[in-house]
Amino acid sequence: MPAQVIKIIGARQHNLKNLSVEIPREKLVVITGLSGSGKSSLAFDTLYAEGQRRYVESLSAYARQFLDKMEKPDVDFIEGLSPAIAIEQRSAGANPRSTIATTTEIYDYLRVLFSAVGQPHDPVTGKALVRQTPQQIVDQILAYPPETKIVVLAPIVENERGEFRDVIEKLRREGFVRARIDGEIVELGRPEPIRLKKTESHTIEAVVDRLIVRDGVRVRLADSIDTALKWGGNRVIVLRQQPAIVGQGRRLPAAEAVSDALAPPSGWEVGRYSTDYGNADSGFTLGELTPKHFSFNSHFGACPACHGLGTQLVVDPELMISEPEKSVAEGVITPWRRGPKRMQAYYKKLQGALVKHFRIDEEAPFAELPEEFKSALYFGTGETPIEIKFGSNGEKIAKPFEGLVPQMQRLYEETESEFTRNRIRSFM
């Protein structure tokens, strides 16, 4: 059972007079007294010094040769003492990134420790991320039922906007015959050019090989996996024929089956593999763990919401309704009273659409309006569309309302205008 107290017997360090005392462990303990009564002698010169000395003595002889020899405090006996740290008192301004761990430099050692032995997990599913060698990937694929048709793909572009003419041309120059673009396998050497819409997101995967699982394909599969990992940034995708249709049709000779595997239809299963840490189900991958992944001063480790500061400015709904005794018609919604005339006209139409949709009295005090309307105003209507009239011809557009809070938060984070940012900050 762990010790409950730190027992000190016969402490005579500096001006301590043969002091014996028991200090509770895992508690916040304050040592107080007159100047010269021995507070520092007990806390620093006895407890801290002995804790440090015992820790150093636990190190190897090789490590101790680089450290100064520490003298034993003048004390008869100390029991229940752990390795100790001492934090210097500073009166400088507070830094949100300054913690006990950073001040004592323990943080640097913890970052190294976690990067060496840490087990990463998928931030969405919570499942442990695993990494595989190319040989393990090959073994898993060869464990598919015999005669399973597979297509080995290298992910090149994943859900990004652009035309990607240079990417397609590079694949063609490097000898790739086919690519899977937005779920459809296309011939790269076809006469008509491949045109992708610049404003839409696209996914491009190079077709590295098409195979059928059977004896004798291990070497070729291993080469294809290595090529896919090289082009896909340590990632590879394997399209697998559904088990329900495996084995149907005649058995082709090995050479013919491997070279003429059909281009996969949309019903095939998708398997994702990576030599980095990854989750095959969600497709989430993480590179080699390094100390920077555990540093709030690095964008690799900092929280994306607070950027490592530990605090975040968020929109407060109550600050957007400064005078709840006023009505919607009187302009109680403060953010919609500001901005250019064009935006004010849009806000007025949006306000009218919300009033009509929820059938409220816009002349009534805001404080008396139903909570359903207030919630929709603050946080949006979800999937429910709101019909808004635009233009002189009264054209109607129906779409969900984002909500004041998400709208202001998004504008605050996306705008490059310091004026706009300061204006929104008044609602935070």
| Region 317-425: CATH code | 1.10.8.280
Q: Provide the CB-side half-sphere exposure for 242 (13 A, CA).
A: 7
Q: What is the pLDDT of residues 260-281, one digit of tens each?
A: 444 444 568 888 888 888 776 6
Confidence grade of residue 254 (pLDDT, cut at 50, 70, 90) = very low
Domains of the chain, by residue range, sit at: 5-79, 87-118+289-297, 134-286, 317-425
Q: Is 211 helix (H, G, I), strand (E, B) or coil?
A: strand
Q: Give dist(CA 364, CA 278) in Å, integer.
A: 55
Q: Give dist(CA 314, CA 322) in Å, integer.
A: 17
Q: Is residue 252 scored above 50 in pLDDT?
A: no
Least confident of 142-151, 298-307, 385-394: 385-394
Return the pLDDT at 251. Answer: 41
Q: Where are the beta strands (DSSP E) in 200-333?
A: 201-212, 235-240, 269-274, 277-278, 285-286
- In the numeric block, the tokens 């007990």 are attached to 42
Q: Is residue 138 scored above 90 in pLDDT?
A: yes
Confidence grade of residue 65 (pLDDT, cut at 50, 70, 90) = confident
Least Cα distance to 411 among 396, 395, 423 occurs for 423
Q: Encoding tokens for residue 266? A: 């949309």
Cβ proximity of 328 and 351 under 8 Å: yes
Cβ proximity of 228 and 153 under 8 Å: yes
Return the pLDDT at 263. Answer: 44
Q: What is the pLDDT of residues 226-239, one digit of tens each?
A: 999 999 888 899 99
Q: Give dist(CA 355, CA 407) in Å, integer.
A: 19
Cβ proximity of 150 and 239 under 8 Å: yes
Q: What is the pLDDT of residues 23-46, one digit of tens each?
A: 999 899 999 999 888 999 999 999
Query: Exposed e or buried b for every residue in 294-303, given b needs 16+ CB within 10 A?
Result: bbbeeeeebe
Confidence grade of residue 12 (pLDDT, cut at 50, 70, 90) = very high
Confidence grade of residue 258 (pLDDT, cut at 50, 70, 90) = very low
Whole-model pTM? 0.51
Averaged over 62-75, what is the pLDDT? 83
Q: Give dist(CA 250, CA 231) in Å, integer.
A: 34
Q: Was domain 134-286 assigned CATH 3.30.190.20?
A: yes
Return the pLDDT at 259. Answer: 39
Q: Encoding tokens for residue 124? A: 């969405």
